[in-house]
Structure 1
Amino acid sequence: METMAAAFLIPFLLLLSFSPTISPQEWNTQDYMKREHSLVKPYQGMGTSIPYWDFLGNTMVTNNYIRLTGDVQSVRGAVWNKVPCFVQNWEMQIQFKVHGRGKDLFGDGFAFWYVKDPMAEGDVFGSKDFFTGLGVIADTYSNHNGPHNHGHPYISAMVNNGTLHYDHDRDGTHTQLSGCVAKFRNLDYDTYLSIRYKHDTLTVSIDIDNKRAFKECFTVGGVILPTGYYFGVSAATGDLSDAHDLISMKLYDISTPDDDILQDRANVMPSASFFEPPRDHVDDPKPSELSTWKKILLLIFGVIAICGCVFIGGLFYVKQKEQQRKRFY
C-alpha cells in the first residue's frame, strides 16, 4: 500500500517542482483590485451616497459617469476616498473624459491626489494649495502669460511637504518632478491615466490612442510617500471651461511575494530627490512711472500737433478768403 502511495506522490511532487512561478507582470490582476479604494459603476449605494467615497463642490453623479465640472465657468468639483491607503506599492488606473465646446481656448483641468488632508477645496484644480502628499495634474489651460516650452494639455507631478506653492499661472513648472504633453480632449473613445508607485519610483502613463495599452509619460525615482494618505480627484474651470467626467478609479496592490520586507512609512514626510531644472519665476511686467509719463507727454504732443494743424488750417482758410475778395475788386 505504501509503495502504491509513493508511486502516485512522486509524479505529483515532480509536477509541482517544475510549475512556473508568478511573475510581477502577472501579479497585478483584477483579483488584487482594492475595492475600498476603487470607484466603478454602478456608483450608487444607499440613496445618493457611494460607499467609501465623499463628494465636494459641483460634482454630479449619473449612471455612466461622475461629472466633476460641467462646461461652465468658475466651478469646482471633487471626489475623495474615505479610507486611508496603507498599501505601499500601488497603481491607480483612472478612466476619464474631458470635453467641451472650446476649440482653441479651454480649461482649467483636473488633478489626481494622494494627500494627507482630503476634502479641502481650493485654487489648485479644485483642491487646496500647500498640500502634503502627491499631485498628478492634467492642465488643459494654455492661455498663459509666462514662458513655456511645452504644449497643452500637459500632465505633470508634484510632491509637496506642505510648504510649496503651486504656481498656476506658470503650470507649476518650478516645482514639478516631470511632465509630458497629452492631447486627451474631445476624443470619441475612452481615455486612461495610470499612476504607479513602486519601490519609491513614480511612473505616470497614459492611454489616449485607443490601443488598450499604456504609454509612459514620465518616470521619476527617489519619491518617498507615506502610507495612510487619501486618494481623490478634483477639477476646476475658470474664465474658460470644460466638462470633466470621471468614469472609474481602480486601485491595485502591486506588492509581490519577492518584495523585501516593507518599511514603516506611516510617519515619513513626502519628499522627492529629483526635480526638473526650475524655470525662473518672472513676475508679469507692471507699468512703470516712466512709461506713464511717456504716455502723458505723447498725449500732450498729440494735442499740440492737432491744435497746430487746426491753427495752420485756419490761417490758410483766411488767406484764401482774402485772395477771393481781391479778385472781385
Structure 2
Amino acid sequence: MAAFTWSAFIFAYLINFVQVLGEWNTEDYLKREHTLVKPYQGSGASMPLWDFVGSTLVTNSYVRLTSDHQSRQGGIWNTQPCHIKNWELHVQFKVHGSGKNLFGDGFAIWYTRDRNQLGPVFGNRDFYTGLAIFLDTYANQNGPHNHEHPYISAMVNNGSLHYDHDRDGTHTMVSGCEAKFRNKDYDTFIAIRYQDNELKVSLDVDGKNAWKECFSVHGVKLPLGYFFGATAATGELADNHDIISMKVYQLDTNAPAKYEPAAYSGLPSADSMEAPREHVSDEKRGVGLSGWKLLAVIILAIIGLGVCAIVGFIIFNKNQDYSRKRFY
C-alpha cells in the first residue's frame, strides 16, 4: 500500500513538473520588451518601452492612434530594437466610426529602421526603410485597384520607394487580400509571421477565434535591429483606429545552431512584387450599383426612354401636319 502511494505521488509530481516546464517554455517565447498589453503602465506623455506621437491617446482599454475626426495622425513605437531573427507579431485592433459608406484612411503596422516620424503614409514617413503592413479602409475610386476595401497589403522598402496613395500602393506591394475588419462587435486580430525569409500574414476578423491566411510571400529579407510600431491617419474621411495589444513571439527553429545561417545584414528586400493592376471601379464590380442605387438607375432609364418616345411622337405629328398643308 505504501509502495503504491509513493508511486502515485511520484507520478503526479512528474506530471506537474512537465506541465510547469511546458508553460515556462511557451511563456519564454513571448518577448516582453516588444510587447504592449493592458493595463498600460505609465502616465502623462510617457509609457515604459513605448513612445507615442501625434494625436495618439492612451486610455485604460486601448491606445487610440486617431479619433473619428478629420486630418489626424498618430503612432506608437517600441523603444527597443528587435534582434530576433524569426518572430511573430500579434496585434489586437479595432477600427470603427460613424461613417456608413465613406470612411478612412486606415492604419499600418511597421518593422522599420526609423521611428517616431509622422508622415503621409498612414501617419508615418514616406521612403521608409523596412516592412509595412497596410490596413487600408479608404476606397480610392480613381486608383488602379481591382479589389474591394478594406484591403490589407505588404510593402518592403529599402528607402528608395514611394508609396502612392492614388494607386493604393499596388505597384510596390508584395501581396495582399481583402478583409472586412471595420465596425465589428467582436475582437479582431492580425498575425505577422517572419521566419526563414518568408512573410506570412493571417487574420482573425470573423469572430471564429481561428487564424485565416491572408497571404504568404517567400524571398523577403529583413535585417535585425529595427523597431516595431503602429500608425494611423485620417483625411477628409475619418475613423477611430485603436490598438489593444501588440505581442512579439520568438519562433523556435528546427535547425541545429551550427547549421543556422547568419542573420541578414543588408537593406530590406523582396524577390518579387505584384505587377501593377489596372483600375476596375466598384460600379463595374456591381458594388456601387447595388440595392436602391440600381433601382434608381433603372427608373431613370425608363423615364429617359419615355421622354424620348414622347418627343419623337411630337416631332412625327408635326411633320405629318406640315406634309398635309403642303399638298392640300
- Asked whether the two chains share a fold, i.e. TM above 0.5, the reply is yes
The partner residue of 2:64 within 67, 77, 80 is 67
Q: How does 1:292-303 map to 2 (within 5 A)?
A: none
Deviation digits for residues 237-292 of structure 1, max 9, x if unmatched? 000000000000000001335355444436311000021122369xxxxxxxxxxx
Code of the residue aligned with 2:229 in structure 1: it is G
> Retained in 1: the 8 A contact 2:144–2:170?
no
Code of the residue aligned with 1:217 in structure 2: it is C
2:199 is the alignment partner of 1:202 = yes
Alpha-carbon distance in structure 2 between the residues aligned to 1:186 and 1:128: 27
Once the 2 structures are TM-superposed, how far is the Cα of residue 212 of structure 1 from its aligned partner? 1.3
Aligned to 1:273: 271
Could you say what secondary structure the match of 1:193 adopts?
Answer: strand
Q: How does 1:109-188 map to 2 (within 5 A)?
A: 109-188=106-185
2:242 is the alignment partner of 1:245 = yes
Code of the residue aligned with 1:277 in structure 2: it is A
Could you say what secondary structure the match of 1:119 adopts?
Answer: coil
Alpha-carbon distance in structure 2 between the residues aligned to 1:73 and 1:28: 46
- Provide TM-score, normalisation by structure 1: 0.75
Alpha-carbon distance in structure 1 between the residues aligned to 2:24 and 2:150: 32
- Provide TM-score, normalisation by structure 2: 0.75
Code of the residue aligned with 2:84 in structure 1: it is V
- Name the CA shift for 1:71/1:39 in 2 (closer, same or farther; >3 Å): same
Could you say what secondary structure the match of 2:189 adopts?
Answer: strand
Alpha-carbon distance in structure 1 between the residues aligned to 2:187 and 2:256: 33
- Name the CA shift for 1:259/1:95 in 2 (closer, same or farther; >3 Å): farther
Q: How does 1:15-54 map to 2 (within 5 A)?
A: 29-45=26-42, 48-54=45-51
Unaligned runs of 5+ in 1: 1-11, 282-329
The partner residue of 1:232 within 215, 219, 229 is 229
Once the 2 structures are TM-superposed, how far is the Cα of residue 108 of structure 1 from its aligned partner? 0.1
Code of the residue aligned with 2:130 in structure 1: it is G
Once the 2 structures are TM-superposed, how far is the Cα of residue 209 of structure 1 from its aligned partner? 1.0
Alpha-carbon distance in structure 1 between the residues aligned to 2:143 and 2:48: 42
Could you say what secondary structure the match of 1:29 adopts?
Answer: helix
The partner residue of 1:222 within 200, 219, 224 is 219
Aligned to 1:84: 81
Deviation digits for residues 142-162 of structure 1, max 9, x if unmatched? 133123210000000000000
> Retained in 2: the 8 A contact 1:79–1:234?
yes
- Name the CA shift for 1:259/1:232 in 2 (closer, same or farther; >3 Å): farther
Identity level (%): 62
Could you say what secondary structure the match of 1:36 adopts?
Answer: helix
Whose radius of gyration is greater, 1 or 2?
1
> Retained in 2: the 8 A contact 1:204–1:218?
yes
Number of aligned positions between the proteins: 264
Alpha-carbon distance in structure 2 between the residues aligned to 1:42 and 1:64: 8
Code of the residue aligned with 1:230 in structure 2: it is F
Deviation digits for residues 165-209 of structure 1, max 9, x if unmatched? 000111100000000000000000000000000010000011001
- Name the CA shift for 1:29/1:213 in 2 (closer, same or farther; >3 Å): farther
Alpha-carbon distance in structure 2 between the residues aligned to 1:146 and 1:38: 36
Could you say what secondary structure the match of 1:202 adopts?
Answer: strand
Deviation digits for residues 23-50 of structure 1, max 9, x if unmatched? 9xx9993431100001001112255522
The partner residue of 1:56 within 53, 57, 62 is 53
Could you say what secondary structure the match of 2:148 adopts?
Answer: coil
> Retained in 2: the 8 A contact 1:139–1:154?
yes
> Retained in 2: the 8 A contact 1:97–1:247?
yes
- Name the CA shift for 1:149/1:248 in 2 (closer, same or farther; >3 Å): same
> Retained in 1: the 8 A contact 2:110–2:230?
yes
Code of the residue aligned with 1:228 in structure 2: it is G
Alpha-carbon distance in structure 2 between the residues aligned to 1:212 and 1:28: 23
Alpha-carbon distance in structure 2 between the residues aligned to 1:173 and 1:65: 31
> Retained in 2: the 8 A contact 1:88–1:255?
no
> Retained in 2: the 8 A contact 1:34–1:250?
yes
